[in-house]
Amino acid sequence: MKPLFFIFIFFQFLLGIPKNIQKRIDKEVLTVFDLKTYSKNAILIDEEVNKQLLIPFNEDNFFEISSNENKIGAYYFGSALGKTDDFDFVVIFDNQFIIKKIKIVAYREDYGMEIGSKRWLNQFNDLKKGDQVKYQKDIKAISGATLSARSMTKAINDLLKSLEILQNKNLI
């Protein structure tokens, strides 16, 4: 059963963000920026630059957000490992790549869903490219969700470090 699940996830990402998850992302973007509609464009990063990043960016995970043809922010769609399965999340940034909101959009395990709580995720708000946080020091631990919480903290640190590298190369 497990190999079939991973094959499903692999093909799901080949086809882009699943529609049900994209709807959740759209809802969050509209709420964060208080919009009725928005448009998105993939932010494409050269393959050679991507090799230098902790998190590679592609046409299915890194987007510029626009409203009325004005760039207002960006979002990153990623996944991190829980105890046995990956979970998906979205990070919404303002124009300066400061985190405005993080939302868990798909959690596939029976335990550890506490990382999806607004209170816990709000600890990452206002972090910016280059910032780094430490689990159990800057980010509070969650009983019953230790692996997911550590994984999420690492994913956000890797994302922020990757954005810093892109900024240093004048690519964002």
- How many CB atoms within 10 Å of residue 141? 13
CB 75 within 8 A of CB 25: yes
Check pLDDT > 70 for residue 154: yes
Could you give the maximum distance between any two Cα atoms of the chain, in Å?
Answer: 46
Contacts of 83 (CB under 8 A, 6+ apart): 109, 111, 112, 147, 148
The predicted-structure confidence for 89-145, as pLDDT tens digits, reads as follows: 999 999 999 999 999 999 988 877 888 899 999 999 999 998 999 999 999 988 878
Count helices and strands in the chain by DSSP H and E runs: 5, 5
Instruction: Report the share of the chain in percent with pLDDT over 90.
Output: 72
d(CA 38, CA 169): 28
Q: What angle do CA 39, 44, 48 make, to 5 degrees?
A: 170
CB 102 within 8 A of CB 91: yes
pTM: 0.87
| 3-class DSSP state of 72 | strand
Q: Give the residue extent of every domain in the chain.
A: 19-168
